A = this chain, B = another copy of it.
């Protein structure tokens, strides 16, 4: 295993110290238990948005803490849910009379721990469950996974909370954005989890893993490596089956890299995906291309489409000032 680390056990602590140092103008790091919060105190009565999940997906979620997006984020161990005491401490630190909205990716550990934190928390709270990954069937035993669509919910609901929307409104908006969002990923390599020290699965030189998640698990199907156009069409069809976009519909297209794939290839995928939907009369009016929801060093990418109404579009465009998403501020 080749990584820039001192020791497997200290990797996360050293990395988050660097993150906090590099972005001390926006966030502050709390320890015992660990969470990242906005530097500025919460405005009285504002709904606070808190997310979290296993580490290894950076910049998700810590890179999205700041004005117009999350109020706090709780990083777990690599690919492991954060604990309820992290979520509770984060909520208590930033809540200021408006209640707490947890943004939770649909994984058993995350769901259970955020639920426990919500029960322990002595203020109004609610959760939005993200399950945008269409590579699993809708009736899968544990439901569909939350993947790259998560940041889109965080951005849009974060803007609404900033504008003064109440908890019930933020919760129903979050559910609506999640419903309007579908994602699917493909890997060209596995990732290497530091504690394991070797790739979590093997792919032959002419194979790819279609419908892959973000935790180094196998995907839906191992397929022969195909052209970028064939890959995009395969994924886009799954997304269309789910969202059934109508002609003239406005949409946000997000091409996300998993960590080991360069921007050159992500932009190529973006072009092909935009072409696919434009040919079908969809108005791709907003874009996001880059490494945002990663899986350590995995080579691969996911495509996410969010169908936008006018309210969602306006909230997407609203100012945001975080380590990894920034405009209008």
Query: Which of A's residues lie within 8 Å of B, judged by CB?
Result: 2-7, 11-12, 14-19, 21-23, 55-56, 58-59, 63, 188-189, 205, 208, 225, 227-229, 231, 259-272, 274, 284, 287-289, 291, 294, 296-297, 299, 301, 326-329
Contacts and interface: CB of A to CB of B under 8 A. Distances in A.
B301 A261 contact: no
Given A21-B274, A327-B329, A265 B15 contact: yes
Nearest to A19: B267
Q: Which of A6, A227, A291, A329 has the most CB of B within 10 A?
A: A6
Contacts of A291: 262-263, 291
Given A4-B301, A22-B274, A328-B329, 12 more contacts: A2-B205, A3-B265, A4-B228, A4-B265, A5-B227, A17-B271, A18-B271, A21-B270, A59-B263, A260-B262, A262-B296, A263-B291
Nearest to A267: B18
A36 B188 CA distance: 30
Given A4-B228, A18-B270, A11 B55 contact: no
B22 A267 contact: yes
Q: How many copies of the polypeptide does the oligomer hold?
A: 2
23 contacts: A2-B225, A4-B188, A4-B231, A4-B268, A5-B228, A5-B268, A6-B229, A12-B264, A14-B268, A14-B271, A18-B269, A18-B274, A21-B284, A22-B270, A22-B289, A55-B264, A56-B262, A58-B262, A63-B263, A260-B262, A260-B299, A263-B294, A291-B291
B15 A268 contact: yes
A93 to B, nearest CB: 22
A265 B227 contact: no
A264 B284 CA distance: 31
User: Could you say which of A15, A189, A264 has the most chain B C-beta atoms within 10 Å of its C-beta?
Assistant: A264
Of A55, A63, A227, A267, chain B has the most CB atoms within 10 Å of the CB of A267
Contacts of A329: 327-328
Contacts of A265: 3-5, 15
Contact of A2 (B3, B11, B59, B189): B189
Contacts of A21: 270-271, 274, 284, 287
